[in-house]
Amino acid sequence: MMAGDYVRRSVAEFVGTFALIFIGAGSVIYGDIVGVALAHGLVIAVMVSAVGLISGGFFNPGITIGFLITRRLAPSLGAVYLVVQFAAAALAALLLRWVLPASARTGSHLGAPILGSGVSSGKGVAIEAVLTFFLVWAVFATAVDPRGTFKQIAGLAIGLTITFDALMGLGLTGAMMNPARAFGPQLVDDHWANWWVWYVGPIAGAAIAALVYEALYLGPPKPEPVGPPETGVDEIAPGTAALE
């Protein structure tokens, strides 16, 4: 369980979350789906690789909640992370509002998410939940599972997951996968249409992925078969001998 060292870990989370919103939301002004997907994926790949060993490299309240409910993050540190992530998102969006031309701000809503044509709020929640499930599944498989490859490819794997999620979901929901990524632009641009979609969906998807991976692959191992000391032969459950 990650605990303590609040200042250094929080600063790392702040920088990573700030970078995600400033680069990711800022890239939306160009209107290029591939470019936006790569911007989000690359910034996360770099930041996870850079500070993952300091803070865990969450940069996402959904991931933070996933770690909290699986008891891999101390509640006090988790609460600090949530505050820092939302604060970093708001400050990054404020800086974007200041540096971007007025025409870019108006057309992109500072990168605030919107539902695509024909996508209802219910469908939006489902899309965001599925996309976030893939993201958190990748996080647990590469950065949490001791059999994973954190030092080698965790940042790359997580960044690429965000990229392929964004390539599918940008035109449908904006592919936020992250309540902080939605919150900063929503707050600063005052754009709250269907706002709950980008909180309920990512948190639900993150929680399900974390709980399922924890239960299936990180839970207590099954006991090894026990055999009689004098023979070294494994014990056989009643009724199974006839099956051999």
Q: Domains, the chain, ranges and CATH?
A: 6-220 (1.20.1080.10)
Tell me the two tokens of residue 36: 């936006």
Reduced to 3 states (helix: H, G, I; strand: E, B; else coil), residue 229 is coil
pLDDT of 230 > 60? The answer is: no
238 falls in which pLDDT band (50, 70, 90)?
very low
Q: What type of residue sits at position 171?
A: G
What pLDDT score does 241 carry? Answer: 36
How many Å apart are CA 121 and CA 127, to the nearest integer? 10
Regarding pTM above 0.75, the answer is yes
What pLDDT score does 119 carry? Answer: 97
pLDDT of 76 > 60? The answer is: yes
151 falls in which pLDDT band (50, 70, 90)?
low
What pLDDT score does 166 carry? Answer: 98
Q: Which helix H or strand E contains 94, and what residues bound it?
A: helix 75-99
Asked whether the beta carbons of 203 and 125 are under 8 A apart, the reply is no
What pLDDT score does 240 carry? Answer: 41
Q: What type of residue sits at position 222?
A: K
Q: What type of residue sits at position 3?
A: A
Other C-beta atoms lying within 10 Å of the C-beta of residue 142: 21
What pLDDT score does 242 carry? Answer: 35
